[in-house]
Each structure stands twice: as structure tokens, then as C-alpha cells.
């Protein structure tokens, strides 16, 4: 079992129940899914770039990503409807908690000049988004394999009804928020 999942089951649920005085155990917020998304600006012209992004996401998450396509044409970006422009993967279950553990304990401390995560990145419904500028913060990525760094967007979907509940959940899980 993942360290964060074990911590959630043993301690975090009790703390959240005390903090928000939930009447039912099913009201306690939990993390439902994590979506890792990478868009490729150069990938529309260079298929190799898109394949590198797909391989990188596969190494980071342990799951095969799905290619994302443009929904409409934008002439200014030389983008046509249906062009493959990125990749995404949805993580659930045990792999989700393993990914969270690696993100919080290994990857985020490796970010250059890291001062903490923004507290304003909640969407109002208890979901949180993180932008990572360089995929190389994950230690399983070999430096010499990928010629161009790519950025990732990590969306954490929780069952919390408010941002305060989600913030408390993620803080107890070890997310380093700015004070």
C-alpha cells in the first residue's frame, strides 16, 4: 500500500472528521482521480516530438496516455481541426496514490527555486491544478532520452465540496502550500 493511502486511512480521515465535523464517514473528502496532461506546441508539425511526450508521460505515470486532438481550427497557430496536439492520462486507484507520493516527496522538492504551491489554484469545487514547467523533475526520466523539455499540467479531482475542505485534505497529505 502507498504511504499516502496508508496515512489517509489511518490519520487524515480522523483529522478531517474532527476539523469539519462530518456526521457520516462518506462525507469525508478523498482524491478521486488525477489527470496528467501535456500539450505540444511543436508536436503539430513534428510527430517525433509528440511521441517523446507520450513516452515521457508513460514513464512518469506508469500508464499509456491518450493522444488529444484539436477541437477547432485556429489559423494564427497554424492549427487544423483534428490535429494531434498533446497527450493525457487519467490515473485512479493504487497508481494514483503512488504518483501522489512521488510528486509530493520527490518531484516537487526538485523544482528549481521552489517556494511552495499556490493556494489560489483551486477551482471553487475542491479540485486543484498544478503546472510543472519541466518534466525532468521526476527522477525516473533519463536526461539524455528527451531532447526538448515539456511541461505538464496535473489536475487533482477531489470529492470535497469546498476549497477549504480540499486544501485541508491536500495539506494533511503533505502538499507544500505557500503560507
For the chain, give every domain's residue range: 3-172
pTM reported for the whole predicted model: 0.88
- What stretch of H or E contains 39? strand 31-39
The superfamily (CATH) of domain 3-172 is: Ribosomal protein L5 (3.30.1440.10)
* Residues with Cβ within 8 Å of residue 106, at least 6 apart in sequence: 138, 139
pLDDT digit string, tens, across residues 125-143? 889 999 988 888 888 887 7
**Distance, CA of 35 to CA of 37 (rounded, Å):** 6
Mean pLDDT over 22-31 rounds to 92
* Residues with Cβ within 8 Å of residue 121, at least 6 apart in sequence: 128, 129, 130
DSSP conformational letter for 80: -
Q: For residue 60, which of 49, 52, 50 has the smallest C-alpha distance?
A: 52
| pLDDT tier, 53 (very low <50, low <70, confident <90, very high otherwise) | confident
What pairing do the DSSP bridges indicate for beta strands 66-69 and 31-39? unpaired
pLDDT at site 164: 92
**Distance, CA of 111 to CA of 94 (rounded, Å):** 25
pLDDT digit string, tens, across residues 33-43? 999 999 887 65
Amino acid at each position: 500500500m502507498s504511504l499516502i493511502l496508508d496515512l489517509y486511512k489511518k490519520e487524515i480521515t480522523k483529522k478531517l472528521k474532527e476539523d469539519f465535523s462530518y456526521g457520516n464517514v462518506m462525507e469525508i473528502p478523498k482524491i478521486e482521480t488525477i489527470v496528467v496532461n501535456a500539450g505540444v506546441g511543436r508536436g503539430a508539425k513534428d510527430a517525433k516530438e509528440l511521441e517523446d511526450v507520450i513516452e515521457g508521460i508513460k514513464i512518469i505515470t506508469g500508464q499509456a496516455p491518450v493522444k488529444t486532438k484539436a477541437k477547432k481550427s485556429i489559423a494564427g497557430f497554424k492549427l487544423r481541426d483534428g490535429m494531434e496536439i498533446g497527450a493525457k492520462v487519467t490515473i485512479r486507484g493504487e497508481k494514483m496514490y503512488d504518483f501522489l507520493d512521488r510528486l509530493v516527496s520527490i518531484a516537487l522538492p526538485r523544482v528549481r527555486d521552489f517556494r511552495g504551491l499556490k493556494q489560489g489554484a483551486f477551482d471553487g469545487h475542491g479540485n486543484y491544478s498544478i503546472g510543472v514547467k519541466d518534466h525532468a523533475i521526476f527522477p525516473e526520466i533519463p536526461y539524455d532520452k528527451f531532447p526538448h523539455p515539456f511541461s505538464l499540467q496535473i489536475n487533482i479531482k477531489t470529492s470535497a465540496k469546498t476549497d477549504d475542505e480540499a486544501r485541508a485534505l491536500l495539506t494533511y497529505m503533505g502538499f507544500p502550500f505557500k503560507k
